[in-house]
Structure 1
Amino acid sequence: MTSATIESIEAILVDLPTLRPHKLAMHTISQQTLVIIRLRCSDGVEGLGESTTVGGLSYAYESPESIKANIDTHLAPALVGMDADNVNAAMQCLDRVAKGNTFAKSGLETALLDALGKRRGLAVSELLGGRMRDSVEVGWVLASGDTAKDIAEAENRLDQRRHRIFKVKIGANPLEQDLKHVVAIKRALGDRASVRVDVNQYWDESQAIRGCQVLGDNGIDLIEQPLSRINRPGQVRLNQRSPTPIMADESIESVEDAFSLAADGAASVFALKIAKNGGPRAVLRTAQIAEAAGISLYGATMLEGTIGTLASAHAFLTLKKLLWGTELFGPLLLTEEIVTEPPVYRDFELHVPNTPGLGLSLDEDRLARFRRP
């Protein structure tokens, strides 16, 4: 049987409104920009992918605009004409053409896998080795910055049986103010929920020593990236003395970073993000490094829409153990949808279809409405 070839790749900027302002230490999101990728093959099969970043260049080295420009100018032309079934060859070609650009490469790898799954009649999770479960638990991020609003939001999510894991975004305010905010939320929720924090690199080591101690004493379960990603010695020292587990997020910008962090003992939990590793297959290589080093795993997000969220979920379904759950809530933060099959969230979990590819198709009318001119 003759293999299909890649005929064309289109990168589309889509601007979608959010449910509420999402306040991070470095940026506040009031709308989310998705880069939707349509990869068309010679046999008529279309693969969908998504490349999305939180806060653009304030968070990482790629923005939606740069992702689209680099796909259009450099990455897509390199792939056109290649065997659409050979994901290995395609991704190695991209690595030769461009250094880094993991967000763009992740969306392209997702589109290749989606197309291959549709062609073979297999879900992406089966292409990645086979699912160990059909759903993943999903946490919610409390990021209004207002204690009373965050508590009310958490209570509402618990009542709906939507979330029982809550991550609080801190770091933008003075240390004592942030600590008071988080402790108040934990006291209000008690044992009904797991409360974690994400500092997004905004503490120095002296603040982190105090912060980790106070948070640990008050029942906070996990502290994400308290120190700058470039302060590796500080991360190692903090991981050794913190009473609460430390999770690496921004520190992992590649599979090689994961190996180095594991070797140094800089974190006891890894946040897995397909966008920062270069795709669903790449993030599983980071997971294998963590598992070999005895490091726990957490399925993280870049606040992707449904396409990127399900790409992550298909990868996370294949993991032997996902001790800390996931935060694949991106579609729930958006007030609009561009696919015909919205994701199913029920009983604290995201349920992932076992249908060919990602199990998604675009709503052409809504895509046209929200795409950037």
Structure 2
Amino acid sequence: MKITRIEAIPYAIPYSKPLRFASGEVTVAQHVLVRVHTDDGVVGVADAPPRPFTYGETQRGVLAVIEDIFAPQLVGTTLLEREVVSDRLSRTVGNPVAKAAVDMAVWDALGKTLDLPVTDLLGGYTDRMRVSHMLGFDEPAAMVAEAERMRDTYGITTFKVKVGRTPFQLDTAVVRALREGLGEEVELYVDGNRGWTPAESARAMHEMADLGLLFAEELCPADDVLGRRWLVQQCDVPFIADESAVTAADVTREILGGAATAISIKTSRTGFTGSARVLHLAEGLGIEVVMGNQIDSQLGSMCTVVFGSAYRLTSRRAGELSNFLDMSDDLLTEPLDIRDGHLAVRPGAGLGVEVDPDKLAHFRTDH
């Protein structure tokens, strides 16, 4: 069970449809595949999706911190020493995506070693989650058409709508068009990626008050402390902290400071170990939780559903699990399959998925 080697492999897969939102645009998945090797011959895998416009991490930065810092610190530890692994990773400031991928690859290797699914090791509450699909910036008709396609093809009935453009009236018109086009049975919530001011956010939420929104997420900058607290007091739906609440300490600050009333958990930035800490804190505080998406690959999306389905609270709401559909290809041997609006965990040890060596050889960029 000893870790003997940690690999970080850069790869790039273009998106067939770029995702556009207030803080950036993604046209190519420039990710890092992380592989944890043990002395038993087991290999655990996970995906690191750098998001420089959100956390400051780049693909080259993820490679460097894993190869130069994390790997030397962790080689020689065992898969059961997860608290030791967590402690050593925490010595380095920042780098949430790199840390999360190493953590999840360790969990995958542990599950494979014990011949148990990771979701059962975490909690084993259920075996699937409802799927929420993120809709990026576009004209109202195009966004309605995409939502209709997702509903008709995959049975998805929950949509997270990217907002935060200026002027904000275009975004409110989009949300209204989605409600009118899809009907009342569809769940809608909005994510501003910090694009509006508090005043714009309050006006927009007032204009959309009759649309039955589930949540509002990160509508204005997190460092606008007083404005954000004022905005949350104006909202009559849960206000989700996402980019502003990466760690459990961040969650405590945001919730107790009145800057949010709900939390997005993303395994791609807190792994399984850190995500469990955030989840249990949320349970203690009595707040809503949504499983978020880092514009994840299929491997990243499987990590999300493996964690989200393991617990009662995280499986209550639809998880953001479908944006891999916009990638032109992927690394897994068996593509994920969304059916009737749900994504199920795979049977088998660990994460239940395998990386196709031929696809990895084709898409890796370190030849």
Q: TM-score range by the shorter chain?
A: over 0.9
Distance 1:217 1:308 in 2: 35
**AA at the equivalent of 1:76:** A
Counterpart contact for 2:127–2:310, Cα < 8 Å = no
Could you say which residue in structure 1 is the equivalent of 2:167?
174
Of 14, 17, 20, which residue of structure 2 is paired with 1:17? 14
State whether residues 259 and 286 of structure 1, in contact with CA within 8 Å, keep that contact through their aligned partners in structure 2: no
1:270 CA displacement: 0.8
Match of 1:308 in 2: 300
Whole-angstrom CA distance in 1 between matches of 2:287 and 2:80 = 33
Contact 2:140–2:173 (Cα < 8 Å) also in 1 = no
Match of 1:109 among 81, 103, 113: 103
Specify the code of the residue in structure 1 equivalent to 2:29.
Q
Aligned to 1:86: 81
**Which deviations, in whole Å up to 9, do the C-alpha atoms of 1:122-151 show, x marking residues without a partner?**
1111222x2111100111111141211111
Q: In structure 1, how many angstroms separate the alpha carbons of the residues matched to 2:322 and 2:154?
A: 14
SS at structure 1 position matched to 2:166:
coil
Structure 1 residues 200-220: Cα deviation after superposition (integer angstroms, max 9, x where no partner): 001111111101111222333
TM-score (norm 2): 0.95
| Matching of residue 74 in structure 1 with residue 69 in structure 2 | yes
Say whether the 8 Å CA contact 2:143–2:174 is kept in structure 1.
Answer: no
2:263 partner SS: strand
Q: Indicate whether 1:337 and 2:330 are aligned.
A: yes
Separation in structure 2 between the aligned mates of residue 243 and residue 91 of structure 1, nearest angstrom: 38
Rounded Cα–Cα distance in structure 1 between residues aligned with 2:134 and 2:168: 19
Percent of aligned positions that are identical: 29
Amino acid in the other structure paired with 2:192: V
| Matched residue count | 365
Please list every run of 5 or more consecutive structure 1 residues that lacks an aligned counterpart in the other structure: none
Map 1:311-322 to 2 at 5 A. 311-322=303-314
Give the aligned CA root-mean-square deviation in angstroms: 1.5
CA separation in 1, counterparts of 2:170 and 2:302?
36
Whole-Å separation in 1 of the counterparts to 2:141 and 2:266: 30
The whole-number CA distance in structure 2 between the counterparts of 1:336 and 1:144 is: 22
Give the aligned partner of residue 39 of structure 1.
36
2:197 corresponds to:
204
Q: Deviations over 1:188-235 (max 9, x none)?
A: 112131121110001111111101111222333221111111123333
1:368 to 358, 361, 365: 361
Match of 2:231 among 209, 214, 238: 238
For the pair 1:60 / 2:55, whether they are aligned, the reply is yes
Query: What do residues 2-40 of structure 1 show as CA deviations (whole Å, max 9, x unaligned)?
Result: xx2111111011111213121111222111122100111
Q: Who is 1:298 aligned against?
A: 290
Structure 1 stretches of at least 4 aligned residues deviating more than 3 Å after TM superposition: none
Aligned counterparts of 2:236 and 2:207: Cα–Cα separation in 1: 9
5+ residue gaps, structure 2 = none
Distance 1:261 1:155 in 2: 35
Structure 1 residue 181: Cα displacement: 2.1
Q: Residue type matched to 1:338 in 2?
A: L
Q: 1:162 aligns with which of 151, 155, 164?
A: 155
Q: List per-residue Cα deviations over 1:63-110 (Å, max 9, x = no partner).
A: 2221111111111111112223322212212223x1221111100001
Q: TM-score, normalised by structure 1?
A: 0.94
Instruction: Flag the 1:296–1:81 CA change in 2: closer, same or farther, 3 A.
Output: same
Deviation at 1:257, TM superposition (A): 0.4
Residue 257 of structure 2 corresponds to 264
How far apart in 2 are the matches of 1:46 and 1:299?
26
Give the equivalent residue in structure 2 for 1:325.
318
Report if aligned partners of 1:252, 1:276 keep a CA contact under 8 Å in 2.
no
Q: Which amino acid counterpart does residue 20 of structure 1 have in structure 2? A: K
| Structure-2 separation of matches of 1:218 and 1:46 | 48
